[in-house]
Structure 1
């Protein structure tokens, strides 16, 4: 799990790690508010207006191109594993739009005076191995000498235009399904404190290197109205983006949220990231929590997920069947975690799902 004592730990070279490095939602919103609008480009179906997962360009009314980029600093010390996690996370944005990736470009920034070149090669090899699992080549990229290690991908994919799944098209009455467990940020914080068990480390790596390749199948399902992936803003932040995009309210069921095995215990011990605090400060005014919610539970709701699961809005009558299909496709923690309701945008967290 850790680097040998005579080597520099990869995580010690970075001030943050994984999707916990993302700018806080409020900061990002302010920055994007200064961006010129994309309205003159009729073929740009998805741009910056709805905080979606990737850009989408309609080629001919039949096929669309999906483009995304994602990169961050290491959250683990093993360079090959870091490369695998970063690549899985980057490719996920294409899957979240319902697309199929076709190739990737590497984004590489390394402190060449502090790192063994062999470790840099292992980062690149780890990323390439995940791209091979996804059936795509790393077709090029760009590298710079950087004060902290940074790695990720720009990924290009395709999708039938009629099957593009936005994060903004959920419907009142839909159920919400989450495909992976929550707690990656908590585990990452525990690594920094040397408090993550070997078993939990293996669980984290298994989750963060599991490709969200079910995305195209979800896109082909007419009952599915919206999809997004849950990453740096936590389940609360990405549910809120879905809520605002749809112009509807989202309710989350606290006790239904799938957690990684040691996430609750570690959160109670104070293993939380700075990003969890920044997330809450950014969007707390749009969230209603139970009065008796403990701080550690709130931190799980705002916990930044690296290479997290897909949040899927689906017609409620099809939700149980879809959960079964998703679990059977290699996502055993998939669960119904909430619903979309008519009402003003915002997220309300309740303890349990009401009986139907």
Structure 2
């Protein structure tokens, strides 16, 4: 979509805040002074078998874009493509129920939506959230020396592929569903409390893809310490067995021209860093002096991870250096 939109002349509207990066998680709107809104849309195909669980994960995934901007979701519209001849309408109701429950957990009201007949099932939300203009999180807010902190483990894309192939145990499947269903509200609250200025959520483009986008917005480079990146305990074994979605492989090809990998990192380790996440965590850029404050807030909020995985630095915009171990800094 980005490649297509670049060929179109944008309409400059007084509501649209242009002081953001080119690949932000949501648009920022300013309908009046002192009021800012985050506006986003996201939908996914099924990643799990249970209709309610699928609806909850898709909703959490869409709501995450607002959290990534430092906002609070307020209202949402459903967007759904439904293969009526293949799936009973009762299943659609269960998907909607799961999504509505997750949105309610976020304090976000679903006020309508639109469905179309589609040969492939798709469900998601168009979300409008409120942002404090003085405390927003944007790609352009990152600065050299900021630490990078990740709030969920990687491996959701690989795990979802394993679920489709019945290659994941019931207990591991339940753990993955719970992780993908978890809202990023606590991570957002922690980021704002610690004075962070930038974040992105780690979803379809994988960790390195979304970091690359943040770096393009901030015109910075980054160093990532692979050993510090949290990963689902069974994800490496699945990847080594050849279980990985095509999207993760495409992500790796996408970031390779912008990345220098440590020679000690094999193909599996590199693939994990590019794994296409669904409803992944926030990647937060926080001033070094506020690192301990952020970690304390994340632990207090009970996020699934609170790992310092790298740092931002001067350099070619979008460039990433991935080392196997953290060096002295």
| Residue-by-residue CA offset, 1:77-130 (whole Å, 9 max, x unaligned) | 111110010000001111111111111111111100000111111101000110
- The answer to whether the 8 A contact 1:128-1:138 is kept is yes
| Mapped contact 1:63–1:160 kept (Cα < 8 A) | yes
Q: Structure 1 residues 228, 30: CA separation in 2 closer, same or farther (over 3 Å shift)?
A: same
The equivalent of 2:306 in structure 1 is 334
Matches within 5 A, 1:202-351: 202-214=174-186, 216-218=188-190, 220-221=192-193, 223-345=195-317, 346-351=319-324
SS in 1 for 2:115: strand
The question of 1:355 aligning with 2:328 is answered: yes
The 5 A counterparts of 1:1-16 are none
User: C-alpha separation between the residues in 1 aligned to 2:18 and 2:56?
Assistant: 28
User: Does the 8 A contact of 1:110 with 1:150 survive in 2?
Assistant: yes
Contact kept in structure 2, 1:46 and 1:52, CA below 8 Å: no
RMSD: 1.6
Give the corresponding residue for 1:32. 5
**CA-to-aligned-CA distance 1:278-324 (integer Å, 9 cap, x gap):** 11222311111011321111110110110000010001121123112
CA distance in 2, matches of 1:219, 1:280: 28
Q: Which residue of 1 aligns with 2:154?
A: 182
Consecutive unaligned residues in structure 1, runs of 5 or more: 1-27
Matched, 1:87 2:39: no
Q: Does the 8 Å contact 2:53/2:98 carry over to 1?
A: yes
Distance in 1 separating the partners of 2:21 and 2:28: 12
CA distance change for structure 1 residues 206 and 165 in 2, over 3 Å: closer, same or farther? same
CA distance in 2, matches of 1:99, 1:288: 34
CA distance in 1, matches of 2:232, 2:193: 28
TM-score under structure 1 normalisation?
0.88
Q: Kindly tell me: are residues 230 and 175 of structure 1, through their superposed partners in 2, closer, same or farther at Cα, counting changes over 3 Å? A: same
Deviations 1:4-45 (A, max 9, x none): xxxxxxxxxxxxxxxxxxxxxxxx44222123235x324311
What residue number does 1:200 align with? 172
Q: Secondary structure at 1:77's aligned position in 2?
A: coil
Query: CA contact under 8 A between 1:250 and 1:347: conserved in structure 2?
Result: yes
Q: Which runs of 5+ in 2 are unaligned?
A: none
Q: CA deviation at 1:222?
A: 6.3
Other-structure match for 1:12: none
Structure-2 change in CA distance of 1:215 and 1:97 (3 Å): farther
Deviation at 1:55, TM superposition (A): 0.8
CA distance in 1, matches of 2:164, 2:191: 38
How many angstroms apart in 2 are the aligned matches of 1:147 and 1:255?
42
Task: Write the distance in 1 (CA, Å) between the matches of 2:285 and 2:177.
Answer: 26
